[in-house]
Chains A and B, each alone.
Chain A
Amino acid sequence: MAVSGFEGFEKRLELHFFGDDPTFIQMGLRKLDFDSLQQVLKAVQCTVVSAVGNAYFDAYVLSESSLFVYPTKIIIKTCGTTQLLKSICPLIYYAHHHLGLTLCSCRYTRGSFIFPMSQPFPHTSFKDEVTYLEETLPANLCYRKASIMPSKSASHSWHVFTATDDSNCQTLYDNGHELYTMEICMTDLDPILARNFFRLPGDEKTGDSAGKEMTELTGICDINPEALICDFAFDPCGYSMNGIDGHRYSTIHVTPEDGFSYASFECTGSFEDDVVYHIMRKVIQIFRPGTMSVSITCSDYSHGMWTRIASAAEAMGLKCRSCTLDEFPAAGGVVFQTFTTRRKK
């Protein structure tokens, strides 16, 4: 393993807001002026690379991962040595002063960093992150819990922090439909497949057009053929995409360098449509990871999602090594599973 390389593992923050003024709620956070958004991203230390919106939400590809803005929900996911939690203060401020919106829920998740020593404060340890969150979040978010969900490997844990107020902030529903969020983290990618995410030196393409080629070449476009994809290829390597399909997003980020290769896939879905098997198969096919973790967040895990995930992964030659459940007050449950290839590489 390299002494230090690019940290692929993202930090992910999901904030929900509410407000009393219906004119603000309708488009809510999407009305935030770009200067304010830029101030938020400056605090995190990243910039917008490309973006697209539809009737339901805005999706931004960032220099380090992605940002999704819904009328009352914002999701920021950043990799590398970004300081994601520093976005909370400016976001609370702008949402309140510019839009009359109040924070009602916060969820912070991440895997285990490959290079934990390179992380700046407050990401120096989960303990520091939790302390920072506890001190930054307003008192109305009274139901709080921090948890490290283990696997059998000490280097793969799932870190979760939730804080919710007592207002029935419907964070796990969308128009009455129960939603799940699936976060997949993959390491030790197949080196031949990882090469698809390198650009040829002097290819004279834009990051947009090189990204589009990668989307098609790798089969990423087949994961959800209905989605409109906003993609970008970094120079000399690395790839990011956001998929938008109605009110649902999906997102992929790839750090393909050997020694610390990493790819992530994340999406939301509802339990009515049974696409998770197809998604799992496609994602595994595209990256062939040596190790993979899948985390599902939802309000009710009686749906047996994780058994379908495990059977899809096992059909693709991965073996389930651990499955952990945890519940968070007024914030649903999380199921965390890890998989590795059957054969030792």
Chain B
Amino acid sequence: MAAEEGQVISCHTIEAWNEQLQKGNDSNKLIVVDFTASWCGPCRFIAPFLAELAKKLPGVTFLKVDVDELNQVAQDWAVEAMPTFMLLKEGKIVDKVVGAKKEELQQTIAKHISAPAASTS
């Protein structure tokens, strides 16, 4: 597990995806999911930046889902544009960034690192 820290973890199967999600939920860590596609230019544009963020923020879990590989996951999460970044805490979507927007992504992640987990409503 420690080997994955500081990296963007690619989920190639539903099982791997569910496992990572569960792990993140159990640890109360902020999860950032990058929905990406091999043919999407903007995804290639932001990939190095995302890898850097993952290195800088070992306390955040970065997952990567290829929308062609895990088509059902992308559909369930209503992903239409690429890249789409979903931010999760305790199994709930707390924020979303659509598009390769470096500053916006960084700021949105920063906001949720410092914010306490959503209180019970």
Assess whether B80 is interfacial by the CB under 8 Å rule: yes
Of B23-31, B35-43, B88-96, the one contacting chain A is: B35-43
Q: A34-B44, A34-B45 are in contact. Are A51 and B99 (CB under 8 A)?
A: yes
State A31–B43 Cα separation when bound (angstroms).
11
> Nearest chain B CB to A296's CB is how many angstroms away?
28
What residues of B have a CB within 8 angstroms of the CB of A114 in the complex? Answer: none
Question: Does B57 count as interface, using CB distance less than 8 angstroms?
Answer: no
Closest to B105 in A: A208
**With A34-B41, A53-B41, A53-B43 given, is the CB distance from A208 to B81 under 8 Å?**
no
Instruction: Name the B residues within 8 Å of A53 (CB-CB).
Output: 37, 40-43, 81-82
Which residues of the partner chain B approach A27 to less than 8 Å between Cβ atoms? 39
Task: With CB as the reference atom, state the residue of chain B lying closest to A230.
Answer: B99
Within 8 A of B (CB), among A46-91: 48, 50-54, 58-60, 69
Question: Which A residues are in CB contact (< 8 Å) with B107?
Answer: 206, 209
- Do B39 and A50 touch (CB < 8 A)? no
Nearest Cβ distance between residue B47 and chain A, in whole angstroms?
8
Q: Does B103 contact A (CB under 8 A)?
A: yes
Q: Does B100 contact A (CB under 8 A)?
A: yes
Task: Assess whether A208 is in contact with B80, with CB atoms less than 8 Å apart.
Answer: no
Cα distance A69–B102 in the bound complex, in angstroms: 20
Select which of A32, A50, A58 is within 8 A of B101 by beta carbon. Answer: A50
- Residue B98, interface by CB 8 Å: yes
Most A CB within 10 A of own CB, among B80, B81, B83? B81
Please tell me which one of the listed residues B41, B42, B104 contacts residue A208 in the complex, with CB atoms under 8 A apart. Answer: B104
**Distance from B83 Cβ to chain A, minimum over Cβ atoms (Å):** 8
Asked whether A209 lies within 8 Å of B104 as measured between CB atoms, the reply is yes
Interface range, A side: 20 to 34
Which residues on B sit within 8 Å (CB–CB) of A230? 99, 101
A33 on the B face (CB < 8 A): yes
| Cα distance A160–B103 in the bound complex, in angstroms | 38
Contacts of B45 in A (CB 8 A): 34, 48, 51, 60
Distance A169 CA – B106 CA, assembled complex (angstroms): 43
**When the two chains form the complex, which single residue of B37, B41, B98, B103 contacts A60, counting CB atoms closer than 8 Å?**
B41
Contact residues in A for B37 (Cβ distance below 8 Å): 53
Q: In the complex, A295→B53 CA distance in Å?
A: 44
When chains A and B are docked, how far (Å) is the Cα of A300 from the Cα of B84?
39
| Least CB separation from A67: chain B residue | B41
Whether A206 and B104, one on each chain, are in contact in the complex, defined by CB atoms closer than 8 angstroms, is yes
* Nearest B residue (CB) for A232: B101
- A58 & B41 in contact (Cβ 8 Å cutoff): yes
A52 and B98 within 8 A (CB): yes
Please name the residue on chain A nearest to B67 by beta carbon.
A55
Nearest-Cβ distance from residue B20 to partner chain A, whole angstroms: 24
Residues in A neighbouring B104, C-beta threshold 8 A: 50, 206, 208-209
Chain A residues lying within 8 Å of B99, measured Cβ to Cβ, are 50-52, 230
**Closest chain B CB from A105 CB (angstroms):** 21
Q: How far is the CB of A270 from chain B (nearest CB, A)?
A: 21
Contact (Cβ within 8 A) A60 B42: yes
Within 8 Å by CB of A52, from B39, B81, B102, lies B81
A sample of 19 inter-chain contacts (CB < 8 A) reads: A27-B39, A30-B40, A30-B41, A37-B41, A50-B101, A50-B102, A51-B100, A52-B81, A52-B100, A53-B82, A58-B41, A59-B42, A60-B41, A60-B42, A60-B45, A207-B103, A208-B103, A209-B104, A244-B81
Q: Which residues of B contact A (CB under 8 A)?
A: 37, 39-46, 80-83, 98-104, 107
CB within 8 Å of B: which residues of A?
A: 27, 30-34, 37, 48, 50-54, 58-60, 69, 206-209, 228, 230, 244
